[in-house]
Structure 1
Amino acid sequence: MTGRVVKQERAARTRAALIRAAAETFAEYGFAGTTVSRIAERAGLTLGAMYFHFKSKEELARLIVTSQPELVVPPLDSQGLQHAVDLTLIWARELLDNPVLQAGARLVMDQRLFIEPHVNSYRQWTAILLDDFEQARRRRELRADVDTEAYARLIVSTCTGAQIHTQLETSHRDLPGRVEEMWRCLLPALAVPSVAKKLVFGVERVRVASS
């Protein structure tokens, strides 16, 4: 292994350590309560190392928020409505233990302080769900009068509200159940009945993700 490769790997490990430390700090203290010193201290690194990789806590917060969708990958191959269900269920389950997702949940209300309006997480998740719904329409899974954009926005807003309430009430422990409850309330107005009956929820999807 060459010296250059060793340096690259060391830099990658340092960067990953800073991202994780920032996520844990944002999740614990919020955006306002987090300082670059706290991030560096938690990572066990110097401020110099911190500033070598990231210019500010704003840059780290932006990275954490915009990378959220990359961390939520359903373990089973699915399309259309089932993919939308899987995506939200896995997000709810992974939020229990993933510090980067937890940080994203904590930072969601502070995005105006560090992120451009046209790339915020609301828009990211809405676009992803809209793609699923448009695919579901092509697969004839949706009722004819469904406004896919409205439903995509509604689900993002509902999931955001659910994660805020469950954080206060149960430290997110009942978030997967709240997400499933949301879908069961919405499906009669959203999906063709024969499709709704075939959708899989609950522990079946979570167990696969955790195994």
Structure 2
Amino acid sequence: MVKQERAARTRETLIRSAAEIFDRDGFSTASLTAISSRAGVSNGALHFHFSTKAVLVDVVEETALTRLLAVTNGAPPLGTSRVQLLVDVSHALADALHDDVVLRVGFALGGETSRPPRTDLRQRWRCWVEETLRQAEAEGELRRGTAVQDAATAVVAATVGFEVLGVRDPTWLAASTVTRFWRLLLPTLVAARLTMVEAGGTRQPSPAA
């Protein structure tokens, strides 16, 4: 059991170390030697867990997907509107992208042209946004004449833009940035009866935000 726990910890360390090296050096130029060195293990130990760099990248992407689902799949508090849920989750995603290098790299791998993504996190996010807005429309939360596809395009373009720009400048992922975006969009998005949507979100932000 102790040996299995140690192996699991080593695997988790390698996944995080790989994400950190991909984040620092880029996927194409990142080396397995740099990853194993950052993880504090030998190349042999790395190859025991991951036979090739491609396998390791796939696992980083799969781990990032699990973390994205943890952000999007939580049950909203009773009485929360779908639009408020969308606002809250966009804040949670920005916060997670700021703090979690594995999630951040998982998103970035979706735009990596040197390999086909097995799991495109940006596309997964887009599908979640579209579905949430469809539910908001069905519940009468959207302003009359607002097309779900148009609203989804605006939200996805902005949030993925924050993700990309946040790689070099973390202020793009700050709660204040996301709040300003929603303050601009909400008046054109929500029905007049929906007056209590908080642009700053209703969840407690992390200290890093």
TM range (shorter): 0.7 to 0.9
Q: Is the 8 A contact 2:97 2:103 kept in 1?
A: yes
1:210 CA drift (Å): 5.2
Please, which of 51, 56, 60 is the counterpart of residue 55 of structure 1? 51
Which has a greater percent of helix? Answer: 1
Q: Paired residues, what number?
A: 201
Q: Given the alignment, which residue of 106, 112, 115 partners 1:104?
A: 106
CA, structure 1 residues 139+210, in 2 after alignment: closer, same or farther (shift >3 Å)? farther
Q: Does 1:15 align with 2:34?
A: no
- CA shift at 1:137, angstroms? 1.9
User: Match for 1:114: what amino acid?
Assistant: R
Corresponding residue number in structure 1 for 2:126: 126
Match of 1:164 in 2: 164
Gap change, CA 1:204 and 1:132, over 3 Å in 2: closer
1:202 aligns with 2:200: yes
Correspondence 1:57-206 to 2 at 5 A:
57-66=53-62, 67=65, 68-72=67-71, 77=77, 78=80, 80-110=82-112, 112-116=113-117, 119-168=119-168, 171-175=169-173, 176-195=175-194, 197-202=195-200, 205-206=203-204
Unaligned stretches of 5+ in structure 2?
A: none
Structure 1 partner of 2:29:
33
Deviation of the 1:133 alpha carbon = 1.1
Unmatched 5+ stretches in structure 1: none
TM-score by length of 1: 0.79
Secondary structure of the corresponding residue to residue 183 of structure 1 = helix
TM-score by length of 2: 0.80
Distance change >3 Å, CA 109–CA 186, structure 1 → 2: same
Kept in 1, the 8 Å contact 2:109–2:117? The answer is no
